[in-house]
Structure 1
Amino acid sequence: MRSTLPAFNEVWQRQFRSSVLNQIQCFPAESTFLIGCSGGMDSMLLLHLMSYLSPEKIRVIYIDHQLQSISADWGQFVSEQCAVLHVPCIVEAVDVQQGNLEHQARNARYQAYAKHLKPNEILVLAHHQQDQAETLMLRLLSGAGVHGLAAMKQVDVREQFTIWRPLLDISREQICQWAIQLGVQNIEDPTNLDTHYDRAWCRHELWPVLQNRYPQMQQALSRTSYLMQDAEDILLEVLQQDLALCGSVTEIDLKKLFQLSNARQRQLLSAWMKGQDTYRPSFEMVERLLHEVIGSKSDAQAALHWNQYYYVRYQQKLFRLSAAEYLAEKSQSNSFEQTICVALGQKVEMLSGDYLAETAKMGLSAALLGKELNLVMRQGGEKIHLYGRVGAWPLKKAIQEAQIFPWQRYRIQILSIDNVMLGVFTPKGFWLAQSEYCEVGGWQPKLIS
């Protein structure tokens, strides 16, 4: 580690070194660092400082969003600066999806980070105190709760990777002073001055007005974010307890949910809907889930679509379904018919899963093995005489009794021969029907996956 930074004020040097070294101690000794560098003043200063503190442990990545014609030149600039400092550099071009430009650019950027991060490598970003205060203000104006107002953490441990923001307590003014003292070169992104974007508007229009009235606003907002982080940690402990009580990632027991206060219900549903995504749903979306789905009549087929998932109620449970699972029924024709031949030990692929034909105490006649058997979709109105039960009863009633979810019922198929029902393939296994083809020591399809 180098002991001095050229032309760098000793007071600021001691302040930065002591702060960063204290933060580094929270990481394992074998950790290395990938610096996200845009070429702007903040990230270029961070690059220079980290190159003096830990030159052998750092790499740099520049994300080219390809939103401006000059963005490739900025990547070249970052690469050249890294070469001077003998720091490895990655330039990654990404495609930004349609939609909110700032949000989609952020998504593309973090996907690229995740792609290049190595095991035990920490992502280092140059967010500073004013960035933190602006983030809190923008989230407050969007109606965010505790989670949003917690803003950015100095050390943010996520499922995919960990983010470290060593400059988060450093003011923009200090960063400018350090950059001048060190002679740090940087590029200027014109969109940082375009008040069409929320953050640029906040920085150039809203910020001066508020700071003129409240000179210590930046420090106060930064302090608020730390208080909100404490509140979020406490809330997370309660949420984990409530989720363990009420259900899992895919379902919520409504009887247990209703045992909680209204506030805890809303917080639990908000966190549950968020799942592994970056952002929680809006307050209005949670209210819609409470009133349109959870509060719907028990026989209603209400569903709420949010962020590629469908939320549906069945009896006293709330389910989170992927779009593919929920919409599969609508793409399946109920007039589908086919014939199958079955052999012992043979795997048979059905809509409800994979089955293996095995011998059983009571099953279908061996004479049916190798014969063409008819397979049709459930149409509705069918009756079944289940083996071991008295009399025939509606197949619909058997499905309801077995608690097969409505969105899974399109996978039910009826097996027959010469208009004699042999059984039914369901998501919960094969149901043997009473018929002249039942015999002791026969065979049955067994659900294996």
Structure 2
Amino acid sequence: MPEAPTSKLSRQLRNTLQRHPAQGQLWLGYSGGLDSTVLLHLLARAQVPFTALHVHHGLSVRADQWQHHCEVVAGAMGVPFVACRVQVDRSGGGLEQGARKARYRAFQQQMAAGDQILLAHHGDDQAETFLLRLLRGAGVLGLAAMAEQRYLGNPDWGRTLLRPLLRASRSELEDYAREHALSWVDDDSNADLTLDRNYLRRQVIPHLVARWPLNERVAQAADNLREADELLGELAEEDLQRCDLRPERFGQSVDLAVFLSLAMARRKNLLRSWLTRLGARMPEAVHLQQALQQAQAADDAVPEVLLGGQVLRRYRDRLYLTPQLLPLGPGEEGERQWDGKSELDLTGGWTLCAGDSWPAGDYTVRFRSGGERAKPRERHHSQTLKKLLQEYGLAPWLRDRVPLVFRNGILLAVGDLFVTEEGPQTPPRWRFSD
């Protein structure tokens, strides 16, 4: 006799939470649709402490109604509720991709280190994702589709995403919802066949399901591909260490010559793994190929290739992955006053703070404007700042961001690189915090 929907889904939820316990607070991504409503009810019924998080995309005229509905339903179940509004940027891959990016940014902004968010993706979603990625030419990791559990953003932050219903089908969720008389909202965009996922769901998958047990076959393929990806990940870790992976002032780098000595397939594998380490999105194959070509550019070239939110760069026999450098906005290029004690915000994630022997005082801080000269304390004559920054090995993309510290118009320090004869014994600290 088949297991009843309530007991089956409750068992799946319990087992998944036991395998992947949250280190911090537990959240639920609650859209108000059928899937997340079922998971909300399952969690409340199991008396699991959690907070429902609703993301208001503003893409539908009914978005306010949906948020109100979610708040009412969560309140009726005694579940804490948080809503946040986001702006969807359609320029980076269209509406679906833009909404997804905005949603995941909202998750990360709400979550603290060690927190876990639950999403209600199920087996039908997994099959759709597998087919979408197959049609887009994805590799092993992409075809492994959605993992049951993964890190959200940088692994060092310990924030995780968990999908406890991934082995359930949509029909099982529908049966559960009917059994418990649940109320949910229907997103009108689900009927838009111009969206790839909707087209697959309505026009393609029903024909496949009529002939094959699609969800089971996709789940098996995804498990096999994930095993293959784990082996590739182990190889990439070995190659990253062989290539002398090291942290830099801004991002990380590997030895370029050793990297180029690897076979092309291993270079691709290393880059994918490295991006994953940094919490970056997996780039399209064409962008990855472009990056590999740029890595072999002429010795004097300083290429910049955007890869999944990170930037691939080259400098002095090293290959770098760095965050994006945002351009300075209006007014951000001007002088700043600094007391020599507090942390000075230089915008874009950069800060300046006092070093061990840096005295308090009235300082002026600004960026390069061109033509500056300086004489480091250990030097006998001055040189152009441009030449000095080259000698001190500051990467070219940071040379316009290095802070120059003055007092009474006299240059005392250049970032944390050096001090002049008039400056303190050691320079201040110049740091990037992503």
Category of TM-score, reference length = shorter chain: 0.7 to 0.9
Relative to 1, partners in 2 of residues 1:447 and 1:43: Cα closer, same or farther, differing over 3 Å? Answer: closer
Are 2:63 and 1:71 equivalent residues in the alignment?
yes
Q: How big is each residue's C-alpha offset from its partner over 1:265-297, in whole Å with a ceiling of 9 and x where there is no partner?
A: 1121233346534421222222212223x2222
C-alpha contact 1:378 1:412 (8 A) present in aligned 2: no
Relative distance call for 1:151 and 1:383 in structure 2 (3 A) is closer
1:172 Cα deviation after fit? 1.7
Which secondary structure state, in structure 1, belongs to the residue aligned with residue 89 of structure 2?
A: coil
**Unaligned regions of 5+ residues in structure 1, if any?**
1-8, 337-344, 359-375, 416-421, 433-441
- Residue number among 35, 49, 69 corresponding to 1:57 in the alignment: 49
* Percent identical: 26
- Deviation, structure 1 residue 56: 5.1
Counterpart amino acid of 1:315?
A: R
Residue of structure 1 equivalent to 2:132: 138
| Residue of structure 2 equivalent to 1:317 | 318
- Which residue number in structure 2 is paired with residue 173 of structure 1? 171
- Please state whether the residue corresponding to 1:152 is helix, strand or coil: coil
What's the Cα RMSD here?
4.3
SS at match of 1:296: coil
Q: SS of the residue aligned with 1:25?
A: helix
Distance across 2 between alignment mates of 1:260 and 1:425: 38
Check conservation: 1:310, 1:321, Cα contact below 8 A: yes
User: 2:196 aligns to what?
Assistant: 198
For 1:120-167, what per-residue CA distance to the aligned partner results, in whole angstroms no more than 9, with x for missing partners?
653222111010111111111122212212221222343352222221
8 A contact 2:413–2:427 mirrored in 1: no
Give the direction of change, closer, same or farther, for the CA distance of 1:69–1:316 in structure 2 (3 Å limit).
same
Q: Does the aligned pair in 2 maintain the 1:32–1:58 contact within 8 Å? A: yes
Closer, same or farther in 2 for the Cα pair 1:119/1:311, shift >3 Å?
Answer: closer
Structure 1 residues 33 and 431, CA gap change in structure 2 (3 angstroms): closer
Measure how far apart 1:13 and its partner are: 3.5
Alignment match, 2:301: 300
Secondary structure of residue in 1 paired with 2:54: strand
Q: How far apart, in 2, do the equivalents of 1:57 and 1:392 lie? A: 64
Q: TM-score, structure 1 length as denominator?
A: 0.71
Residue 280 of structure 1 aligns to a residue whose secondary structure is coil
Partner of 2:290: 288
1:92 correspondence with 2:92: no
Shift of 1:208: 2.2
Find the aligned partners of 2:332 and 2:26 in 1 and give their Cα distance: 50
Q: Within 2, Cα distance between the matches of 1:17 and 1:423? A: 65
Aligned position for 1:236: 233
Tell me: CA distance 1:83–1:10, structure 2 relative to 1, closer, same or farther (3 Å).
Answer: farther
Residue 38 of structure 1 pairs with residue 35 of structure 2? no
Does structure 1 retain, via aligned residues, the 8 Å contact 2:236–2:269?
Answer: yes
Contact 1:35 1:60 in 2 (8 A): yes
Mapped to 2, the partners of 1:190 and 1:134 lie a distance apart of 19
Deviation string for 1:36-91 (max 9, x for gaps)? Answer: 22222222222222222x22523322222111111211222222223332333333
Shift of 1:94: 2.5
Specify whether residues 140 and 383 from structure 1 end up closer, same or farther in structure 2 by C-alpha distance, changes over 3 A only.
same
Aligned to 2:107: 113
User: Matches of 1:190 and 1:119 in 2, distance apart?
Assistant: 35
- 1:387-426 alpha-carbon deviations (Å, 9 max, x no partner): 889x99999888766545444556699x9xxxxxx99969
In structure 2, the residue matched to 1:6 is none
Aligned to 2:118: 124
TM-score, with length taken from structure 2: 0.74
Structure 2 CA distance for aligned equivalents of residues 112 and 197 of structure 1: 23
**1:318 and 1:58, CA in 2 relative to 1: closer, same or farther beyond 3 A?**
closer
Pick which of 184-193 and 77-86 moved more.
Answer: 77-86
Q: CA deviation at 1:168?
A: 0.6
Output the amino acid matched with 2:29: G
Q: CA 1:259/1:295 → structure 2, altered by over 3 Å: closer, same or farther?
A: closer
Alignment of 1:388-427 (within 5 A): 403-407=393-397
Greater share of strand residues, 1 or 2?
Answer: 1
CA pair 397-225 structure 1, distance change in 2 beyond 3 A: same
The answer to whether the Cα contact below 8 Å between 2:412 and 2:423 also exists between their aligned partners in 1 is: no
The one-letter code sitting in structure 1 at the alignment partner of 2:116 is I
If you compute each CA radius of gyration, which structure gives the higher value, 1 or 2? 1
Say if 2:271 is the partner of 1:269.
yes
Displacement after TM superposition at 1:306 (Å)? 4.6
Residue 253 (structure 1) shift: 0.8
Which range moves more in the overlay, 74-83 or 63-72?
A: 74-83
1:175-230: CA deviation from partner (whole Å, max 9, x where unpaired): 22222222222222111111111211110112123334x42122111221122222
Aligned residue type for 1:447 = P
**Partners of 2:63 and 2:383 in 1: how far apart?**
70
In the TM superposition, residue 385 of structure 1 has moved relative to its aligned partner by 13
Question: Where does the alignment leave 5 or more consecutive residues of structure 2 unmatched?
Answer: 335-339, 347-351, 358-367, 430-434
Classify 1:426/1:192 alpha carbon distance in 2 versus 1 (closer, same or farther; 3 Å): closer
Tell me, in whole angstroms, the C-alpha distance in 2 between the residues paired with 1:171 and 1:114.
28
CA distance in 1, matches of 2:394, 2:23: 51
In the other structure, the counterpart of 1:152 is: 146
Give the 3 Å change call, closer, same or farther, for CA 184–234 of structure 1 in structure 2.
Answer: same
Per the TM alignment, residue 30 of structure 1 is displaced from its structure 2 partner at its CA by 7.8
